[in-house]
Amino acid sequence: MSERRPAASRRVGFGLVLLLSWLVGYPLMLTFLEALGIGSGFTLEYFAEFVGRVDEWGALWRSVWISAASVVLSALIGVPLAFVFERSEFPGRKVLGALVALPVALPPLVGVIAFLFLYGESGFVSRAVQGLLGLSEPPWRLQGPGAILLVHAYSMYVYFYLFVRAGLARLDVSMQEAAAMLGAGPVRTMFKVTLPLLRPALTGAALLAFMTSLASFSAPYIFGGGFRVMTTQIVFSKLNGEVAMSQVETVVLALVALAGLWALVRLDRGRIEVVGGVRGVAPSRTALRGRWARGSATAVGWGLALVLLLPHLTLILISLVPRATWTIELLPPVLDLGNYRELLAAPERLRPIVNSLWMATVATLGAVALGLAAARSSIRSGGRLGAALEVLLAVPWAVPGTVFAIALATAFSVDAPMAGRFVLVGTPWILPLAYLVRSLPVTGRGALAGLRQLDSSLEEAAASLGAGRWRTLRRVTVPLLKPALAAAASLAFITALGDFVTSIVLYTYDTRPISIEILSSLRLQDTGVAAVYGVLLMAVSAGAFLLWGREEKA
């Protein structure tokens, strides 16, 4: 098949490279050029101003150290959890194992407000501690780097947990048996054999956590206060009308993100290749013996699950509290469905939900179609064309959402059709486009992974049975890729539905999504309604997450 109509498949490949370059590379390039004043006279003035300003350097430094600390904290929680759930057997292990991964399905802004309701100054936990200790002031303020790190660790340990569990499940037991036969104790085996073999999983999770932290916006925006990181700095510059400075900051953050990506990829390059094709069986789980051990493991497990579920439960509870009925009591005195009724009764309140749903659906469908087309073309074309498509698919992942939002705002606020620029900012199409571009790495990589696992002779078999290209795609390729595409689509949909970081830069009143409405409800002290929006986001995201799980099993 590789030889069939090479010219046609190359033409498609070139077309896709052009389209992706326009969507992904062009806005970033324009932002860089505009930061240098190209078009209105070359200048390094804004870069010089950036270098000269202490607050800019401070924000950059804070972004980097917060990201590094988030990686360490997430690893400290996620790695031991992975070992416990993969290596020991105790009552409720399976259910708890799934619950532990739940924070990944919580949209960032929803997680942040749930933390606010739980651990904020007037949150449940703070009130309880204040009441227990008889304090006149709240015991703490959920603000600054500590609060940001708490939210990051809560949402990003899942990467380490999932990656290391998968790594442990694949680990060849004979390696550990060989170490034991050579006299290594459990500790030496752990540090000399197991952890080095888990290096790909660990670096993969670290990369994901680092890049996610660097791009994190919701937590620094809500909890940061005066503690600004690069993402919030960019948005504040934009909101203050300092467009050129926001472009310089965007360029700097993009460069830091790419440098981080480069460093971690280099680190991963030195990994050990396991020799020998035959893989042993994954080690069996150690059943905890003795009533005490089993009992305490179960109690700790469920206790942990409760802590992890508390943000979700809090959000549901707050959504049931009518406005201005809860002041100084430990628990809300009145609970009803008033907030839900209010939201459903007012079309203007429903607008953000409809907006988010249609924009996320359109973006997801577009991202799946474009991701699949680019992945297929990348595999078929191979060579430089294939590599270029793969890079273009990966770029939006490495570049923080804020950066992309500014880049899209830069590229699509000018009417110059000959230069490939159209006015999309202010129209209903800019947000779906932004969501689509940001989802491309997920759908593209999902399709690439699925296609690489697909036996190429299946498509040849279809062709030998008289099926043309479209029929082969519809009847063979897509059905077989369904699990991979469904997983990618679920993730893309969840991300687009709960998006805050690009929305805050690109929304208009008519296109405001749920996340923006949550923020304005919070500003109006309408916590109940904000929580209802949060619960709806959570429910739809969990639904998409479950759909993914079902497809995985099918």
Partner 1 sequence: MSYLRLDELSKSFGETRVLGGVSLEVSEGETLVLLGPSGSGKTTLLRMIAGFETPDAGRIEVAGVEVTSLPPAKRRFGMVFQHYALFPHLSVAENVAFGLESGSAAPEERLARVAEVLELVDLRGFGERRIHQISGGQQQRVALARALAPRPRVLLLDEPLSNLDRALRERTRREIGDTLTRVGITAVWVTHEQDEAFDVGDRVAVLHQGSLEQVGSPEELYLEPATRFVAGFVGRASAIRGGWRDDGRVSIAGSESAWSGVPGRDFEPGTPVELVFRPEALRLVAVGVEGALPVRVLDRRYAGSQTYFTVESSAGDRFEVIALSEAAAPGDERAVLPGSPAPRVFGRDV
Report in angstroms how near the CB of residue 375 gets to partner 1 at its nearest.
Answer: 19
Does the protein bind partner 1 through residue 4 (CB under 8 A)?
yes
* Count of residues that interact with partner 1, criterion CB under 8 A: 22
Does the protein bind partner 1 through residue 285 (CB under 8 A)?
no
Query: Which of 29, 467, 473, 542: binder of partner 1 (CB under 8 A)?
Result: 467
Phi, psi of 509 (to 5 degrees): -60, -40
Does the protein bind partner 1 through residue 137 (CB under 8 A)?
no
Report in angstroms how near the CB of residue 3 gets to partner 1 at its nearest.
Answer: 5
Q: Are 161 and 101 in contact (CB under 8 A)?
A: yes
With contacts defined by CB under 8 A, name the span among 312-320, 376-384, 443-451, 473-481 that binds partner 1: 473-481
Measured CA to CA, the distance from residue 369 to residue 20 in angstroms comes to 13
Report in angstroms how near the CB of residue 382 gets to partner 1 at its nearest.
Answer: 13
Report in angstroms how near the CB of residue 483 gets to partner 1 at its nearest.
Answer: 10
Measured CA to CA, the distance from residue 225 to residue 232 in angstroms comes to 10
Report in angstroms how near the CB of residue 554 gets to partner 1 at its nearest.
Answer: 9
Q: Are 483 and 450 in contact (CB under 8 A)?
A: yes
Does the protein bind partner 1 through residue 458 (CB under 8 A)?
yes
Report in angstroms how near the CB of residue 551 gets to partner 1 at its nearest.
Answer: 12
Does the protein bind partner 1 through residue 259 (CB under 8 A)?
no
Report in angstroms how near the CB of residue 470 gets to partner 1 at its nearest.
Answer: 11
**Distance of alpha carbon 379 from the chain centroid:** 26
Length of the chain: 554
SS3 content of the chain, % helix, strand, coil (to 5): 75, 0, 25
Q: Which is nearer to partner 1, 52 or 466 (CB)?
A: 466
Measured CA to CA, the distance from residue 431 to residue 360 in angstroms comes to 9
The secondary structure of residue 322, as a DSSP letter, is: P
Q: Which is nearer to partner 1, 318 or 476 (CB)?
A: 476
Q: Which of 434, 398, 77 is nearest to 254 (CA)?
A: 398
Query: Which of 68, 480, 542, 547: binder of partner 1 (CB under 8 A)?
Result: 480
Does the protein bind partner 1 through residue 473 (CB under 8 A)?
no
Residue 295: how many other CB atoms lie within 10 Å: 13
Does the protein bind partner 1 through residue 384 (CB under 8 A)?
no
Does the protein bind partner 1 through residue 457 (CB under 8 A)?
yes
Report in angstroms how near the CB of residue 466 gets to partner 1 at its nearest.
Answer: 4
Residue whose structure tokens are 């799934």: 98
Does the protein bind partner 1 through residue 462 (CB under 8 A)?
yes
Residue 546 makes CB contacts below 8 A (sequence gap 6+) with none
Report in angstroms how near the CB of residue 5 gets to partner 1 at its nearest.
Answer: 8
DSSP 32-97: HHHHTTTTS----HHHHHHHH-HHHHHHHHHHHHHHHHHHHHHHHHHHHHHHHHHHEE-TTHHHHH
Does the protein bind partner 1 through residue 468 (CB under 8 A)?
yes
Does the protein bind partner 1 through residue 460 (CB under 8 A)?
yes
Q: Which is nearer to partner 1, 135 or 478 (CB)?
A: 478
Q: Residue 306: exposed, middle, or buried by beta-carbon count in 10 A (0-12, 13-18, 19+)?
A: exposed
Looking only at residues 407 through 436 of this chain, which bind partner 1 when binding is defined by CB under 8 A?
Answer: none
Query: Which of 455, 509, 523, 553: binder of partner 1 (CB under 8 A)?
Result: 455
CA terminus-to-terminus distance, the chain: 29
Report in angstroms how near the CB of residue 266 gets to partner 1 at its nearest.
Answer: 31
With contacts defined by CB under 8 A, name the span among 13-21, 127-135, 303-311, 474-482 that binds partner 1: 474-482
Query: Which of 271, 471, 474, 550: binder of partner 1 (CB under 8 A)?
Result: 471
Measured CA to CA, the distance from residue 17 to residue 30 in angstroms comes to 18
Q: Which residues bind partner 1 (CB under 8 A)?
A: 1, 3-5, 455, 457-458, 460-468, 471, 475-476, 479-480, 482
